Amino acid sequence: MTDVYLTVKEASEYLSMPEHQIEKLIFQGKIRAIHDGSQYLLYKDQFNTHLKQLEKYKKLVEEILSEPVPEDIDIKDED
């Protein structure tokens, strides 16, 4: 087998998801797969864009969460 295609088991490890969830996504048509008669094969590169976008999103969330909250000049101490 080449590195271009992944089995369901390999895809579950690659995506850190359970195998049954990968199979569910295949049956729903959300993941493209080829059935070779005995197993489903998934084109590995279809996940690269998704994983890159996920990494960008994680970095953006980390940046937003690390920004200090500005003090509001309208808040008055009620003591």
Q: Domains (ranges, CATH) in the chain?
A: 5-66 (3.90.105)
Asked if the model's pLDDT at residue 1 lies above 50, the reply is: no
Distance CA 13, CA 20 (A): 12
Which residues share a beta bridge with 33? 42
8 Å CB contact between 32 and 49: no
The whole-number pLDDT of residue 61 equals 94
pLDDT tens profile 24-64: 989 998 888 999 999 999 988 887 777 788 889 999 999 99
Distance CA 21, CA 28 (A): 10
Asked if the model's pLDDT at residue 78 lies above 80, the reply is: no
Distance CA 66, CA 63 (A): 5
